[in-house]
Chain A
Amino acid sequence: MSRISNDTEFRKALDALDATRQRQVAARFVEHVLGLCSDERITHVAAVAGNSDASEAALAEALKTARAATFDCHTRCGSEGDWSEQAGYFVARAATAALTPIAQMPSGPAWQAALSCRMAQTSKSIVTGDDTAGQEGEQQYRILSEFLDS
């Protein structure tokens, strides 16, 4: 069984994946924090991203939807921020990263999706005051390990 225990191993493993598998595992990262986003479009987007048989047209449409949701969820400059809604913004951003072609995201779609999911948990922790934000990384190590073994 694959066992990933730190970010160096995590990122190395992500970088070794081809574009389709990066998208699929990124979708799993997004699904893990989906409860933090109230925008139902992202549920659909994550499902498309996780589908290995999704057509190019479906992926393009999902990316467009994810981008629109990301912009709709962001806190505009100068307006009062709400960290619960901000968590949703980061989930939408993770979904966007999952569907962005690697050529447009040299740092890696799956890595960027993972980071945004962690930021979503941080945003939630700002609201709840708990200190569980750091645990999302551990969860992602587990998700990736299981993905590699599947």
Chain B
Amino acid sequence: MSASLQSGLNALKEQIDAPVAAFFSSCVRCGLCANACLFHTETGEPKYTPIHKLEPLRRVWRQEYTFWGRLAKAVGLSKPVTDAELGDWQELVYDSCTMCGRCSMVCPVGNDIAYMIRKMREGMAAAGHAPAGLIGATKRAIEIGSPMGVKLPALQAQIRHTEAEFGLEIPVDREGADYLLLLSSMEIMNFPEFIGAVAKIFKQAGVSWTISSEAFEATNSGIQIGVSEIAAELVQRIVTAAEKLKVKSVISPECGHAYMAIRWEGPNLIGRPYSFKVVHILELLDQLRAEGRLKTTGMESQRLTYHDPCQVSRRGGVVDQPRNLLNMVAENFVEMPETGTMNWCCGAGGGVSSNERADEIRLKAFNRKKKQLDAIHPDAIVSACSNCRIHLEDGLEEYGMDMPVISLTETIAEHLAGNEAAGSKES
């Protein structure tokens, strides 16, 4: 047995905790999870059944932690997990699973399959079977501080651009601010207007905030690839910066998995509670709305719909807030057939977007989103995740669908009352 396979099997064994054992024991093989997974529904291929993606982990559990499994292993009646098998499973665990958690929602015995995929990735990474794209992103995250290689001078340039554009100050390293804003590299590189949108809104609402020059990156490649030590290191950088600046809250930006990483996995990864709160940007905006500190003017007359980012809505519980905010600015808001906690994934989360090998299956799976959109024919799609946004655009392009994808935070900023002088249009 190779050292990498041994390492992978050890990692898989270590990942089998009480929930995983209970989930495997409880599975009744009903197959309901298959119809909840867009990779299965849009391909019809049984191998994409979510619980099947965990087969190597299930076998390790059975062979190592059950009486009959151990007996079968002892007398040579069980099939060992091999390196080649883990290699074959890479496509199922990384390319065709976004850890969106929809399968977990429909399991009649309550198995959290997405939780188990996350654990399975720990073994896959330890065995050397993670996709090259994710390995590169993770390396850059550790060495540079950003999976896309965004360095501080680049952020500073975007900040200078934004300050000049909107005539607003973007506070950096301001000790004692109430909120520390994190950004995803996708926002810094592809959607820098997000920074300006937040600055405009916070100015109107009188929010005390800052960005840290030492830890501005929100995303966590360690979670996506499945290496908890790296994931913990990335979380710790944010915690250290937040505590150094003595902020009361950390804001997760328009990025789905960043929110899941810092809000839900973070304290468990570093082994202690935070000394601050974590909120998603939409949670904060909705709070400002409720407090009467967020005032908008004009309504979008377009037929708008909202794409729920899986990690924000389904796994994060931020479902009502975006709708409250959209009610402020959209007079023709229309829901897709399945929304909120049961929305369908864009197909690119969980590291799939970093993995070029997955492009074909990702775009095939996008047909599910197309069906949702075909049912309501919106003029534009609003969302709150930069990764969803770019991959919705890709999918729409692939399927010849003509509709823009826009950021909810930017849409709110565009409608801020009394903001004309800062470059925003009052409609």
Contacts and interface: CB of A to CB of B under 8 A. Distances in A.
Interface stretch (A16-24, A31-39, A100-108): A100-108
A104 B190 contact: no
30 contacts: A8-B420, A8-B421, A11-B423, A11-B425, A70-B393, A71-B393, A75-B190, A77-B148, A77-B185, A77-B354, A78-B133, A78-B134, A78-B221, A78-B224, A78-B351, A80-B148, A81-B148, A103-B302, A104-B302, A104-B380, A106-B300, A106-B427, A108-B425, A111-B425, A118-B161, A122-B158, A125-B157, A126-B153, A134-B161, A134-B164
A126 B397 CA distance: 30
Contacts of A77: 147-148, 185-186, 348, 353-354, 386-387, 390
Interface in B273-309: 300, 302
Contact of A100 (B157, B186, B356, B404): B404
B207 interface: no
Given A78-B147, A79-B133, A119 B379 contact: no
A142 interface: no
Grouping DSSP codes into helix (H, G, I), strand (E, B) and loop, the B interface class, with mixed when no group exceeds half, is helix
Interface string A98-132: 00100111111001000100110010011001000
B185 A81 contact: yes
A105 B404 contact: yes
**Residue among A67, A80, A103, A119 with the highest chain B CB neighbour number at 10 A:** A80
Contacts of A7: 165, 423
A44 B224 CA distance: 40
Contacts of B137: 78-79
Nearest to B133: A78
A54 to B, nearest CB: 18
B352 to A, nearest CB: 9
B224 to A, nearest CB: 8
Given A7-B423, A104-B403, A118-B165, 15 more contacts: A15-B425, A74-B390, A75-B148, A75-B190, A76-B354, A77-B148, A77-B390, A78-B136, A79-B137, A79-B354, A86-B190, A105-B404, A126-B153, A134-B161, A137-B165
A80 B154 contact: no
Contacts of B423: 7-8, 11
A128 B164 CA distance: 19
Contacts of A108: 425
B22 to A, nearest CB: 33
**Residue among B185, B189, B348, B403 with the highest chain A CB neighbour number at 10 A:** B189
A68 interface: yes
Interface in B339-358: 348, 351, 353-356
Contacts of A13: none
Contacts of B393: 67, 70-71
A133 interface: yes
Interface in B160-203: 160-161, 164-165, 185-186, 189-190, 192-193
* A-B residue pairs, 6 tightest by C-beta: A78-B354, A78-B137, A122-B161, A77-B353, A81-B148, A126-B157
Contacts of A126: 153-154, 157
B353 A76 contact: yes
Nearest to A86: B189
Interface in B96-144: 133-134, 136-137, 140
**Residue among B140, B190, B354, B380 with the highest chain A CB neighbour number at 10 A:** B190
B190 A74 contact: yes
Contact of A122 (B136, B157, B420): B157
**Residue among A8, A68, A89, A106 with the highest chain B CB neighbour number at 10 A:** A106
